[in-house]
Amino acid sequence: MTVTRKAGLAAAGVLMLLAAVPAAAAPRDQGVASRAGATDLSAQRRTRIIVRPRRTVLGPNAVRQCRAWLAQEFRPSGTVIVPRQQCWWE
């Protein structure tokens, strides 16, 4: 039997032993995984933000209107497209 063949058989034997290790030998830190799901963003309540105008007297049905667009900005690294927004009360 050649050295290469003996090394191959030894490696196969080690792989078979590792496959036979029971799942009970795995780390028991599964509580952390279940708690990590609770901190997921989809599981959290959204914070409600109320926006009120300053120094303006508006009626109880006032609505904030916004207009958004993309604008070019010229920077030393090159031209980039950035979002812009303008809002007002009606």
Kindly calculate the radius of gyration of the chain based on its CA atoms and give it in whole angstroms.
31
Q: In this structure, are residues 63 and 90 in contact, taking their beta carbons and an 8 Å threshold?
A: yes
What are the tens digits of pLDDT across the range 58-78? 888 888 899 999 999 999 999
CA-angle at 48, arms to 82 and 85, nearest 5°: 20
What are the tens digits of pLDDT across the range 3-33? 566 766 676 666 666 666 555 555 555 555 5
pTM of the model: 0.37
Domains of the chain, residue spans? 63-90
DSSP string, 23-70: GGGS---HHHHHHHHHTSGGGSPPPP-----SS----TT--EEEEEEE
Between 23 and 40, the more confident residue is: 40
pLDDT of residue 60: 83
pLDDT of residue 77: 95
